[in-house]
Amino acid sequence: MSLSHRASAITLSVTLALDARAKALADQGHDIINMSVGEPDFAAPKVVQDAACRRVQSGDVKYTPAAGMRSLRKAIGEHVGAIRGTAPYAIDEVTVCHSTKHALSGAVLSIVDPGDEVLLFLPAWVSYVEIVRIAGGVPVAVPSRADCGPDFSAIERAITSKTKAVLLNSPSNPTGYVWSADEVRRLAELCERKKLWILSDEIYRRLVYEGEPNLSPASLGPAIRARTIILDGASKSYAMTGYRIGFVAAPKEVAAGVERLHSHLTGAPNTISQDAYQAALVGSEPLEVAQMCAEFDRRRRWLIDALRGMGLAVPWPRGAFYAFPDVRAYLDERGTRGFCEDVLEQQDLALVPGTAFGVDTHVRLSYALSLDKIKLAAERLGKFLQAHPTRAAAASATR
Ligand code: GLU
């Protein structure tokens, strides 16, 4: 049986594959600590749950227009305008999607033609490369600074006559790096000068724990707003991963392109989640959100200290819920993939190898799980590192 080139060339998402493997091992009775997938361990806020239940019980769970319910598009447009300090996005500038991943793929399919290049800043989230490839585009990896911030000379060098867009993800998955306002401004100026789109994946925007909040390029004035495609959703800010709901907020031509695509590929997201998301967005922010962020912050500080205490270099993450330590001293020829396989097999601890994000030097730990589990995970990782001498120590022992 032969598959299309498209389907044969694509790899399964490493994060989702690892999460499935960790869960399967747990089902077989292994005492797994799963730090692989980035999924808040909190329940969605009460208003969200109530709205979902009300919709189910009304019996009115039907198709909605492909771009989503008008009331939700309005709520999203007002919400984005309020948090980004811009005029509200109009209803026709918003398309509701099944997730932020779905919003991103719709946006990429709407603006990228075969051969167009899209710049991705390394380390870059696992699905970016594949989504650009599915659209026939060419992902161009741009290295970052050692602290995981943007390297503008590398970005300028990577731009060619075929560059169509840059993909900004701040706070970043997997590093937790939050671009400073100056960095966002610089990128915006560059994109205006070179006439590029900015695909701005803002799914972690609410999860910034210190310093200046995350800035969207869209906040920098009408000219750059007209080049910015905001991709966001409910999963991380409202602990609504399983609801599968997100959106594109962009110039109306892009929002309409995504709507047309989705009208054939998927249809609108389910009505229950649309109502639930609307309940999260209207009025004041549900109290549970700030509580969840405070708890993530506590775990972040504890985990980074613990990893540094083990002698690992870890970029300080201002946002998201990942730690990204450098483990290259411990790697053999199998790289970070082999490291993660060994940690899973020997310590029942699931981590994500840096190769999933385009760098084979670091591993990702999600701290979206309880502090007790994080403490146990750190103990297991510490034991693993102690049992495996660094390459330098192994070399000097054989001399
Ligand atoms: N974005 C999350 C992660 O990186 C969820 C899983 C996925 O969609 O990749 O773990």
pLDDT band at 399 (very low <50, low <70, confident <90, very high): low
Distance CA 186, CA 198 (A): 12
- Predicted confidence at residue 143, as pLDDT, reads 97
Residue 8: phi and psi, rounded to 5, are -70, -35
Q: Is 12 in the pocket of ligand 1 (CB under 6 A)?
A: no
| Structure-block tokens of residue 136 | 């026939």
Quick one: which H or E segment has residue 280? helix 271-281
AA letter at 41? D
CB 237 within 8 A of CB 206: yes
Quick one: which H or E segment has residue 125? none
CB 79 within 8 A of CB 283: no
CATH 3.40.640.10 domain position(s) in the chain: 61-281
Mutation choice for ligand 1 from 37, 204, 236, 357, CB with most ligand atoms inside 8 A? 37
Strands (E), the chain: 33-34, 94-97, 117-121, 138-142, 163-169, 197-201, 228-233, 246-249, 322-323, 349-350, 352-353, 363-366
Average pLDDT, the chain: 96
Q: Is 173 in the pocket of ligand 1 (CB under 6 A)?
A: yes
Atom of ligand 1 nearest to the CA of 125: 4
Nearest CA to ligand 1 atom 3: 38
In tens, the pLDDT along 107-133 reads 999 999 999 999 999 999 999 999 999
In tens, the pLDDT along 135-168 reads 999 999 999 999 999 999 999 999 999 999 999 9
Is residue 398's pLDDT more than 90?
Answer: no
Within a 10 A sphere around the Cβ of 222, how many other Cβ atoms?
9
Query: By C-alpha distance, which of 322, 315, 308 is closest to 366?
Result: 322
Name the class of domain 61-281. Answer: alpha beta
In tens, the pLDDT along 192-218 reads 999 999 999 999 999 999 999 999 999
Alpha helices in 282-334 (DSSP H): 287-309
Q: Average pLDDT, stretch 284-312?
A: 98
Q: What are the residues whose beta carbons fall under 8 Å from the beta carbon of 1, sequence distance 6 or more?
A: none
Nearest CA to ligand 1 atom 4: 38
pLDDT band at 396 (very low <50, low <70, confident <90, very high): confident
CA of residue 232 to ligand 1 center, whole Å? 14
Q: Average pLDDT, stretch 275-300?
A: 98
Q: Does domain 5-43+287-387 have CATH number 3.90.1150.10?
A: yes
Query: By C-alpha distance, which of 309, 244, 267 is closest to 44?
Result: 244
Distance CA 70, CA 230 (A): 18
Q: What are the residues whose beta carbons fall under 8 Å from the beta carbon of 350, sequence distance 6 or more?
A: 18, 19, 21, 22, 32, 33, 34, 35, 36, 340, 343, 344
- Predicted confidence at residue 390, as pLDDT, reads 83
Q: Average pLDDT, stretch 360-365?
A: 98
- Predicted confidence at residue 392, as pLDDT, reads 74
Q: Average pLDDT, stretch 253-276?
A: 97
In tens, the pLDDT along 2-26 reads 999 999 989 889 888 888 889 999 9
| Structure-block tokens of residue 208 | 């910034």
Q: Is 351 in the pocket of ligand 1 (CB under 6 A)?
A: no
Is residue 393's pLDDT more than 80?
Answer: no
CATH 3.90.1150.10 domain position(s) in the chain: 5-43+287-387
